[in-house]
Amino acid sequence: NAGVMQNPRHLVRRRGQEARLRCSPMKGHSHVYWYRQLPEEGLKFMVYLQKENIIDESGMPKERFSAEFPKEGPSILRIQQVVRGDSAAYFCASSPSSMNTEAFFGQGTRLTVV
Amino acid sequence: KQEVTQIPAALSVPEGENLVLNCSFTDSAIYNLQWFRQDPGKGLTSLLLIQSSQREQTSGRLNASLDKSSGRSTLYIAASQPGDSATYLCAVQGFSGNTPLVFGKGTRLSVIA
């Protein structure tokens, strides 16, 4: 049973380009969370999704950021028109459908905007 | 709004020493608390999960305690080794379950051989 898979591990984008980050949850997990870690900061929640539904997007900037978790395929975090301040590590976590369970994290995608 | 604080921000100890990392949270209505390890440039590895009804959890040389009423948790590492050098993160989950984790900024630990 593979763990949470994120790709790419490293992504370099020029200002104004789009960044697409992918997350495949652990087998049997239908809940996905995205977090962002800025340098010298803790992880901050961005968005919580279940299959085909956004449950909580209170931590995600209103502009330029979007997320989806389709019925088939990985969850995608999309950042349009990236700016230097978007440079960070983006982590995905998954959990099964039951409550009060351990969160399993992927290795993260490190986005650098140049 | 839940806030999680970890003290100290950084710690350097000689090999073999026992040490304690501290975590405090402002809202005691939590569902669980989780300790993670993060190596530089890497992802998060879950170390211990303490349910709100539990007082402590142990795994090998690690012991985590939880005092929900006072909003505190400690991670005790026995007989520290250079391989323990990493950043240790504390995170709490809200009462509803499957709500997002709220993280502290972490304690950066260096164990000197």
For each of chain A's 114 residues, which pLDDT tens digit applies? 579 999 999 999 999 999 999 999 998 888 999 999 998 788 999 999 998 899 999 999 999 999 999 989 999 999 999 999 999 999 999 988 656 567 789 999 999 999
Q: Say if the Cβ atoms of A91 and B102 lie within 8 Å.
A: no
Q: Which residues contact B46 (CB under 8 A, 6 or more apart)?
A: A102, A103, A104, A105, B34, B35, B36
How confident is the model at residue A95, as a pLDDT? 86
Question: Do the bridges between strand B19-25 and strand A104-105 make them parallel or antiparallel, or are there none, so unpaired?
Answer: unpaired
- Strand, coil or helix: A36: strand
Single out the residue of A26, A71, A18, A75 nearest to residue A46, CA to CA: A75
- As given in the structure block, the two tokens for residue B1 are 């709004």
The DSSP call for residue A26 is P
B6, B45, B98, B105, best to mutate vs chain A, most A CBs in 10 Å: B98
The DSSP call for residue A51 is T
Chain B residues bordering chain A (beta-carbon distance below 8 Å): 4, 31-32, 34, 36, 41-46, 49, 51, 89, 91, 93, 96-106
Q: Say if the Cβ atoms of A105 and B46 lie within 8 Å.
A: yes
What average pLDDT score do residues B68-90 get? 96
Q: Is the peptide bond before A61 cis (omega within 30 degrees of 0)?
A: no
For residue B80, pLDDT beyond 60:
yes
Report d(CA B104, CA A19) in Å as an integer: 27
Q: Measured between CA atoms, how close is B9 to chain A, in angstroms? A: 10
What average pLDDT score do residues B61-90 get? 96
Write the burial class of residue A71 (CB in 10 Å: 0-12 exposed, 13-18 middle, 19+ buried).
exposed
Chain mean pLDDT for chain B: 93
Q: Say if the Cβ atoms of A42 and B93 lie within 8 Å.
A: no
How confident is the model at residue B41, as a pLDDT? 84
Distance of CA B49 to the CA centre of its chain: 9
Q: Say if the Cβ atoms of A33 and B100 lie within 8 Å.
A: yes
